[in-house]
């Protein structure tokens, strides 16, 4: 499993977020180039299929939790989203711990 595949699986398994939170975070991870996802809120609204107010709420929560931050790429007129790999590693670590625990339990 590649590092990105593992991250996507870990996000899918992250029960502390709603399905829509996980969809937004996964989308940003999949669209990121060098950990920067150069997408607009409007694009996320269309992609996820929810209101812009919900996308803003989710983005704020992801920022508060330290998984992303807003950044502006020079020459653009909109914010992009920078993934915080260090904090995302916490989701992966939890995912791997849960897999290990389930594996041990099923022995």
- Per-residue pLDDT tens digits for 59-72: 999 999 999 999 88
User: What pLDDT, on a 0 to 100 scale, did the predictor assign at position 66?
Assistant: 97
Q: Facing residues of 79 across strands?
A: 72
* Span 42-63, pLDDT tens digits: 999 999 999 999 999 999 999 9
All domains of the chain in start order, with CATH = 3-105 (1.10.10.10)
What's the whole-model pTM score?
A: 0.91
Distance from C-alpha of 11 to C-alpha of 29, rounded to nearest angstrom: 10
Phi, psi of 106 (to 5 degrees): -85, 5
User: What pLDDT, on a 0 to 100 scale, did the predictor assign at position 28?
Assistant: 97
């Amino acid at each position: 499993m590649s590092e990105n595949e593992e991250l996507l699986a870990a996000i899918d398994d992250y029960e502390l977020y709603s399905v829509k939170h996980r969809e937004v975070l996964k989308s940003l991870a999949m669209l990121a180039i060098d950990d920067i996802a150069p997408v607009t809120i409007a694009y996320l609204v269309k992609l996820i299929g929810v209101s812009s107010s919900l996308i803003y709420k989710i983005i704020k929560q992801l920022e508060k939790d330290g998984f992303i931050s807003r950044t502006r790429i020079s020459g653009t007129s909109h914010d992009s989203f920078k993934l915080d790999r260090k904090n995302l590693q916490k989701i992966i670590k939890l995912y791997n711990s849960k897999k290990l625990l389930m594996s041990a339990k099923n022995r």
